[in-house]
Each structure stands twice: as C-alpha cells, then as structure tokens.
C-alpha cells in the first residue's frame, strides 16, 4: 500500500517538474511558448505579416508547441519505472 503512495508522490513531483518546462515553436517570425502544463506563456507576433497569415501561423505555432510539450511529458513519464 505504501508503494502506491510513493508512486503517487513521484507522479506529483514529475507533474510539477514537467509544468516548469517551456516548449516553443517559431514560424515566419511568429513565436509561441507553452509550458508543460499546456498553458501559453508567450506569443510574439510578426507585424510584417498580414492578419490572415498571422492568424494561420499563430495557430500552427500553438499546435506545434503543444505537441512538443506532450512529447516532452511522455518522455519523462516513460523514464519512470512505476509499474
């Protein structure tokens, strides 16, 4: 039973560690940074792009940064021997 509590404590520590990491994506001068908790930390826009292109690039950057965050979290979890 105590092993399960120990595993839960390890998972909570890992969750906190992952949340502190930042993952970014940049396309055409637009940059998006998200943290491991999947929250957007920063968006830098490129004013030389028209509004339609900028919206498209922001969407792509957010999706790419979120995917990087998911992969980073999965790698950390895979490194733990919980089971």
Mean pLDDT, range 1-7, rounded to an integer: 75
Burial class from Cβ neighbours inside 10 Å (0-12, 13-18, 19+) for residue 70 reads middle
User: Which range is least confidently modeled, 4-13, 24-33, 59-68?
Assistant: 4-13
In this prediction, what percent of the chain has a pLDDT beyond 70?
93
Mean pLDDT, range 34-44, rounded to an integer: 95
* φ, ψ dihedrals at 32, nearest 5°: -125, 135
Whether the pLDDT of residue 27 is over 60: the answer is yes
Name the average pLDDT for the chain. 90
Res 65: pLDDT: 97
Res 8: pLDDT: 79
What is the residue extent of each domain of the chain?
Answer: 2-78
* C-beta separation of 25 from 64 below 8 A: yes
Superfamily of domain 2-78, CATH level 4: Nucleoid-associated protein YbaB-like domain (3.30.1310.10)
Task: Tell me the pTM.
Answer: 0.81
């Amino acid at each position: 039973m105590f092993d399960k509590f120990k595993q839960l404590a390890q998972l909570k520590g890992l969750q906190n560690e992952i949340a502190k990491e930042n993952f970014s994506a940049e396309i055409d001068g637009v940059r998006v940074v998200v943290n491991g908790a999947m929250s957007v930390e920063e968006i830098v826009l490129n004013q030389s792009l028209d509004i339609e292109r900028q919206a498209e690039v922001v969407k792509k950057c957010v999706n790419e940064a979120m995917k990087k965050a998911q992969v980073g979290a999965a790698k950390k979890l895979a490194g733990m021997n919980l089971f």
